[in-house]
Amino acid sequence: MKLFRFRRFQNERERLFESALADTPQKDVAPEQMNPLVLAYIGDAYFSLYVRTRMVAYEKNKMQALHAVDAKIVSASMQAVACRTIEEDLTDTEREVLRRGRNAKSQVPKSATVGEYRASTAFEAILGYWYLKGDMTRLDEMAGKAFRAILTAMNEEREGN
């Protein structure tokens, strides 16, 4: 069974590479209909770049410090905080995307609880949804709100220790 799954993965990887090489993208799919893990994949990349861009505004030379703070901000536990923060501001359609992201099945890393990881995936999925929908105003507004909430939570955590 493992060999079959591995060969299927190799075939999928090869098909993806060939499509990219030939520049033959799949037909457009509305973000509302996309796999929530694909939305999370895009949302993760967006939020990482958003955080790094924001952090460089405060420090331009200390790479180790930048990475340490960045890694904490984009961690599953902090993104779970972000998810809870923005959830109250979502429309019904956005809540559905968030729900689908939360319910998406994926492997949970040891660094997070199942609840944190599911909330983190939901947060990334809604960011990916806004990005792929082209709603940059909403994306920037909610990413900013999430960023501020995460920094507040990190500060409370820091002061508590």
pLDDT tens sequence across 52-96: 999 998 877 888 989 999 999 999 999 999 999 999 999 999 999
Average pLDDT for 4-8 = 83
Instruction: Evaluate whether residue 67 is within a structural domain.
Output: yes
Q: What phi-psi label fits residue 23: left (phi over 0), alpha (psi between -120 and 50 degrees) or beta? A: left
| Number of residues written out for the chain | 161
Higher-scoring residue by pLDDT: 60, 144: 144
pLDDT tens sequence across 88-141: 999 999 999 999 999 998 877 777 899 999 999 999 999 999 999 999 999 999
Give the amino acid at 142.
M
Residue 70: domain span? 30-160
In this predicted structure, what is the pLDDT of residue 7? Answer: 87
pLDDT tens sequence across 27-52: 787 888 899 999 999 999 999 999 99
Instruction: Evaluate whether residue 18 is within a structural domain.
Output: no
d(C-alpha 122, C-alpha 136), whole Å: 18
Question: For position 103, which CATH number holds?
Answer: 1.10.1520.10
In this predicted structure, what is the pLDDT of residue 25? Answer: 75
Instruction: Evaluate whether residue 54 is within a structural domain.
Output: yes
In this predicted structure, what is the pLDDT of residue 9? Answer: 84
Instruction: Evaluate whether residue 135 is within a structural domain.
Output: yes
In this predicted structure, what is the pLDDT of residue 76? Answer: 95
Cβ atoms of 101 and 32 within 8 Å: the answer is no
Instruction: Evaluate whether residue 11 is within a structural domain.
Output: no
Instruction: Evaluate whether residue 24 is within a structural domain.
Output: no
- What are the two backbone dihedrals, phi and then psi, of residue 111, each rounded to the nearest 5 degrees? -80, 0
Describe the chain by its helix, strand, coil percentages, rounded to 5: 80, 0, 20
Q: Please give the tally of structural domains in the chain.
A: 1
Task: Kindly give, in sequence order, each residue whose CB lies less than 8 Å from that of residue 98, ignoring residues fewer than 6 positions away.
Answer: 83, 87, 90, 122, 123, 125, 126
The tokens for 145 are 């709100």
Q: What is the model's pTM?
A: 0.88
Instruction: Evaluate whether residue 76 is within a structural domain.
Output: yes
In this predicted structure, what is the pLDDT of residue 161? Answer: 60
Tokens 């990887």, residue located = 13
Instruction: Evaluate whether residue 23 is within a structural domain.
Output: no
d(C-alpha 97, C-alpha 61), whole Å: 38
Among the listed residues 28, 44, 92, 135, the single catalytic one is 44
Annotated active-site residue 44? The verdict is: yes
